[in-house]
Amino acid sequence: MSDVLAFAGVTVRRGANTLLDDVYWDVEEGQRWVILGPNGAGKTTLLQVAATRMHPTSGVAGILGEVLGAVDVFELRPRIGLSSAALAERIPRGELVRDVVVTASYGQIGRWRENYESLDHDRATELLEAIGAAHLADRTFGTLSEGERKRVQIARALMTDPELLLLDEPAAGLDLGGREDLVARLSAIAADIYAPALVLVTHHVEEIPPNFTDVLLIREGRIVAQGPIEVTLTEENLGETFGMPLELNKHGDRYSARARQGGDHGMA
């Protein structure tokens, strides 16, 4: 299994709820995926399984050549970068930005940490520079704007040089300028051939960064469609995913969507 992710029949149940229903999904090296779906569709659950934070009730979740349940998750986790609102809430507000980034490496480096400490700090500085947040290094996390926090979280998620980067709604809560800045930065990461495989969760087509390659559309725990963005992101698939007739527009390398106007309530 050389895929980054190889999910076969992945199902997650909690009580009477089926959060993910028979998901087959492969992510390969170099791919940049967008996961699109309405609230409650199962997007975060899908990312939690990919991040080894949740196990399937049934099915097989192949992650970086290992099978979840048959591998020590603490060996896999440093190979996976994750940015989510839940993780951000656990960052102490008084922590310095440079420490927020550098501490991501402690899990991996463990007892060798002392030897590598200055290398770690150099890497944290480089990552902050790359995402346009170097000037924030000596601020405390609590004093940052929402957009600045999102950038710092992404730098932190990249600290262990992961093979897979998972971003759960990184644009949520950003103003227009913050969103556009983030989309441009994610687009630049996506264009970098040395960047890890990327999976970005959103519920807005406006947030799909240029250079992303594939899309997975999900509704009520089931995959509606998946594949290369140009052929998979259609009005019909998007309408089915969000449960309403939608008009989808492409402007250069960006998308926008809105409810279909007028008396036409059929799917395009």
Positions touching ligand ADP (CB under 6 A) are: 14-15, 17, 19, 37, 39-45
The interface partner of residue 45, options being Mg ion, ligand ADP, none and the CB cut-off 5 to 8 Å by kind, is ligand ADP
The CB-side HSE value for 5 (13 A sphere, CA atoms) comes to: 29
User: Is the CB of 37 or the CB of 178 nearer to ligand ADP?
Assistant: 37
DSSP 3-state assignment of 42? coil
User: Is the CB of 44 or the CB of 226 nearer to ligand ADP?
Assistant: 44
Backbone angles phi, psi at 238, to 5 degrees: -65, -40
Least spacing, CB of residue 85 vs Mg ion, in Å: 8
Least spacing, CB of residue 218 vs ligand ADP, in Å: 7
Least spacing, CB of residue 152 vs ligand ADP, in Å: 22
User: Is the CB of 53 or the CB of 98 nearer to ligand ADP?
Assistant: 53
Q: Which residues between 25 and 64 bind Mg ion (CB under 5 A)?
A: 43-44
The interface partner of residue 135, options being ligand ADP, Mg ion, none and the CB cut-off 5 to 8 Å by kind, is none
Burial 163-198 (b: 16+ CB within 10 A, else e): bbbbbbbbbeebeeebbbbbbebbbbbbeeeebbbb
The interface partner of residue 40, options being ligand ADP, Mg ion, none and the CB cut-off 5 to 8 Å by kind, is ligand ADP
Query: Residue 69 has which token pair?
Result: 């349940």
The interface partner of residue 14, options being Mg ion, ligand ADP, none and the CB cut-off 5 to 8 Å by kind, is ligand ADP
Residues 261 and 246: their CA atoms lie apart, in Å, by 8
The interface partner of residue 92, options being ligand ADP, Mg ion, none and the CB cut-off 5 to 8 Å by kind, is none
Residues 153 and 127: their CA atoms lie apart, in Å, by 11
- Could you give the angle at which helices 146-158 and 176-191 cross, rounded to 10 degrees? 20
Least spacing, CB of residue 42 vs ligand ADP, in Å: 4
Kindly give, in sequence order, each residue whose CB lies less than 8 Å from that of residue 169, ignoring residues fewer than 6 positions away.
Answer: 84, 85, 201, 202, 203
Residues 166 and 46: their CA atoms lie apart, in Å, by 10
DSSP 3-state assignment of 82? strand
Least spacing, CB of residue 45 vs ligand ADP, in Å: 3
Query: What residues does 215 pair with on adjacent strands?
Result: 34, 227
The interface partner of residue 156, options being Mg ion, ligand ADP, none and the CB cut-off 5 to 8 Å by kind, is none
The interface partner of residue 19, options being Mg ion, ligand ADP, none and the CB cut-off 5 to 8 Å by kind, is ligand ADP
User: Is the CB of 46 or the CB of 159 nearer to ligand ADP?
Assistant: 46
Which residue, judged by CB position, is nearest to Mg ion in the bound state? 44
Least spacing, CB of residue 245 vs ligand ADP, in Å: 21
Residues 21 and 103: their CA atoms lie apart, in Å, by 36
User: Is the CB of 42 or the CB of 81 nearer to ligand ADP?
Assistant: 42
User: Is the CB of 85 or the CB of 191 nearer to ligand ADP?
Assistant: 85
DSSP state of 163: S
Binding site for Mg ion (CB under 5 A): 43-44
